[in-house]
A and B are shown apart, each in its own frame.
Chain A
Amino acid sequence: DSGVTQTPKHLITATGQRVTLRCSPRSGDLSVYWYQQSLDQGLQFLIQYYNGEERAKGNILERFSAQQFPDLHSELNLSSLELGDSALYFCASSEGTGANTEAFFGQGTRLTVV
Chain B
Amino acid sequence: QQPVQSPQAVILREGEDAVINCSSSKALYSVHWYRQKHGEAPVFLMILLKGGEQKGHEKISASFNEKKQQSSLYLTASQLSYSGTYFCGTVSNDMRFGAGTRLTVKP
| Cα–Cα, bound, A38→B73 (Å) | 25
Residues of A within 8 A of B (CB): 2, 33, 35, 41-43, 45, 48, 55-56, 58, 90, 92, 98-108
- Nearest CB of chain B from residue A12's CB, rounded to whole Å: 17
Q: In the complex, are the beta carbons of A42 and B41 less than 8 A apart? A: no
Q: A99-B30, A102-B47, A103-B89 are in contact. Are A45 and B95 (CB under 8 A)?
A: yes
| Cα–Cα, bound, A66→B95 (Å) | 17
Within 8 Å by CB of B96, from A2, A58, A90, A92, lies A58
Residues of B within 8 A of A106 (CB): 41
Candidate in A56, A99, A104, A108 with the most chain B CB atoms within 10 angstroms: A99
Q: A42-B99, A107-B41 are in contact. Are A102 and B94 (CB under 8 A)?
A: no
Interface SS majority for chain A: loop
| Cα–Cα, bound, A33→B32 (Å) | 14
Q: In the complex, are the beta carbons of A99 and B29 less than 8 A apart? A: yes
Within 8 Å by CB of B42, from A48, A56, A100, A105, lies A105
| Cα–Cα, bound, A101→B56 (Å) | 11
In the complex, B18 has a CB within 8 A of chain A: no
Within 8 Å by CB of A48, from B2, B43, B95, lies B95
- 21 A-B pairs with CB atoms under 8 Å apart are A2-B41, A35-B97, A41-B99, A42-B87, A45-B96, A55-B94, A56-B94, A58-B94, A58-B96, A90-B42, A98-B30, A98-B91, A98-B95, A99-B29, A99-B49, A100-B29, A100-B53, A103-B32, A103-B89, A105-B43, A106-B41
- Nearest CB of chain B from residue A84's CB, rounded to whole Å: 18
| Cα–Cα, bound, A99→B42 (Å) | 18
| Cα–Cα, bound, A58→B106 (Å) | 37
